[in-house]
Structure 1
Amino acid sequence: MSLINTAVAPFQATAYHQGKFVPVTEENFKGKWSVVVFYPADFTFVCPTELGDLADHYDEFKRLGVEVYGVSTDTHFTHKAWHDTSDTIRKVQYPLVGDPNHQLARFFQVLITEGEDAGLALRGTFVIDPEGRIRTIEVHDNGIGRDATETLRRVKAAQYIAAHPGEVCPAKWSEGAQTLSPSLDLVGKI
């Protein structure tokens, strides 16, 4: 069953955020847009490039009213240690959520359960609307890094269609570009 349009299940976790350990629950995803980015593990290779890319674009996410959450199956203590020792991760100003009991990775269906990577999360990106419902999902192999600008594009598209019922964003849509209004008259004309 797809998670699209489902509400985030209740959970309790702890994040390392701006020098403190802070609680995070499903309530954090309500009242604003959120992006939840799962990654396999701290102190690895592709993960810091992705988290650093998100950090470089964090001001634009904030301008859009979006909070970003990085999540791995590490503990919040490990997130702090990584933040304290990595120049790239030191740039991260958004919460890094610990999920050592795998409750989030299981709910979001990104937990690896077999093989040498069992217990880690796949690379998964979820855009969540202000009602706490999942609007976009991207999950792929852990060897493939993501691009924050594509995540921003998907956030803008999700925000646009939420604000403009009856319109849809075509392929390669970008902010300000023309959208479509599906109708009988449009069938076969694209």
Structure 2
Amino acid sequence: MLNQKMSVCSVLFSSRFAPAPRAALSVFEMTPLAREIVKECGRTGEEDEPLSEYRLSLFRTLQMVTWRLAETPSKATIPTGRSRGVIRALAITESLLAEPLRFEDVSRMTRQTPRTLARRLLAETGQRWGEILRRMRMIRAIEMLAETDLAVTEIALSVGYQSLSAFNASFRSFTGQTPTAYRDGFKTSSFGR
């Protein structure tokens, strides 16, 4: 497991070991420190063994680091809905990211008025449709940067951007990095290195 590139890692602690975090579930970006602690925790021995002082210190450090990182959740999460209409609107939006999609088309496909769908989306996800669309496009672009060798221009087009400069600006605003720099981060941050 530690010799493979890792995109997702779950950190779970027993309530007997650590106090509950502020949020029951949080998705956040791993820092180099957190990544190295996770790697070291994976090398420390069998689960049945009693915790040595070293392992106990590692797990306590990991707990403190993850609780702190959880205070700034990742933007790379897709909102979910509760009602059938919102769930369907989100699924349609995600399936048509490369298309020149309009909100009115999504509302028509879900048999809701634009006003009703807009109100429900905001109530259930806390976001407007345009924000959700942008977030979905950015997450898909991140996945493609990590999993493929496609050129950035091809990725931009496949997630619905008509111009590379618009995609680059949106990506930098979303992640704080250019698409190329973000992709390079995957090359240097695999858990096996």
TM-score, length basis structure 2: 0.23
Q: Identify the structure with the greater helix proportion.
A: 2
Which of the two has higher C-alpha Rg? 2
Write 1 or 2 for the structure with the bigger share of strand.
1
TM value normalised by structure 1: 0.23
